[in-house]
């Protein structure tokens, strides 16, 4: 696998994280360097770790995981998306009762956005591609695009207020539907 192909793969995998980061950036929790780092770091870490897991698991379990991975991703993204929409419609509400760059919410978002990377790891194993360089590039590209999405989302949140939480929630739900449709077709 050539370096340009690895970068294209990394950008494709990072788009979900970028879109989620854009929506989350509109919340009041993502202020300052610590939450920005936590979210972008975890998105990059999970996006790099999932291909390794896919690589290690191999093709024996692929059929079992393929049967439900898209439903898990859809459920997690839809759950967070609906909460963001409800918050955007409620003038006093918050999309998250806690900081989405911490704890369970951070892990759920990281898993939901990186499930496709597991399948990529399986594919790389079948193609007998060395895994180190692709996961390094996938992790760095995802972390960078997630940070960029958080910063842009923060700026949009200041400009457009709570309406951006509705847009962010719709983006998350749309990503979830895209995952479902792409796996069902």
State the Cα–Cα distance between residues 40 and 147, nearest whole angstrom: 5
pTM summary value:
0.71
Task: Report the share of the chain in percent with pLDDT over 90.
Answer: 17
Contact between 177 and 33 under an 8 Å Cβ cutoff? The reply is no
Residue-wise pLDDT for 112-127, tens only, equals: 888 878 878 877 776 7
DSSP designation for 128: T
Residue 91, Ramachandran bin (φ over 0: left; ψ between -120 and 50: alpha; else beta):
alpha
DSSP 98: S
For 21-69, the pLDDT digits (tens) are 887 887 767 778 888 899 999 999 999 999 999 888 865 665 666 677 6
Q: How is 39-95 classified by DSSP, letter by letter?
A: HHHHHHHHHHHHHHHHHHH-TTTHHHHHTTHHHHHHHHHHHHHHHHHHHHHSTT--S
Domain ranges, ordered by start, for the chain: 3-184
Q: Which helix (H) or strand (E) holds 156?
A: helix 132-160
């Amino acid at each position: 696998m050539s370096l340009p192909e690895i970068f294209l793969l990394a950008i494709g995998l990072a788009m979900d994280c970028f879109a989620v980061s854009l929506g989350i950036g509109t919340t009041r929790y993502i202020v300052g360097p610590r939450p920005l780092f936590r979210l972008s770091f975890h998105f990059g870490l999970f996006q790099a770790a999932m291909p390794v897991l896919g690589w290690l698991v191999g093709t024996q379990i692929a059929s079992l995981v393929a049967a439900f991975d898209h439903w898990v991703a859809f459920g997690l993204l839809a759950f967070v998306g609906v909460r963001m929409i409800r918050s955007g419609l409620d003038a006093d509400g918050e999309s998250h009762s806690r900081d989405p760059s911490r704890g369970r919410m951070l892990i759920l978002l990281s898993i939901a956005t990186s499930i496709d990377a597991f399948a990529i790891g399986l594919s790389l194993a079948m193609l007998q591609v060395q895994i180190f360089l692709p996961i390094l590039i996938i992790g760095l590209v995802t972390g960078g695009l997630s940070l960029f999405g958080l910063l842009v989302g923060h700026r949009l949140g200041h400009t457009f207020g709570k309406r951006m939480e509705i847009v962010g929630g719709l983006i998350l739900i749309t990503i979830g539907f895209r995952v479902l449709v792409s796996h069902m077709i």
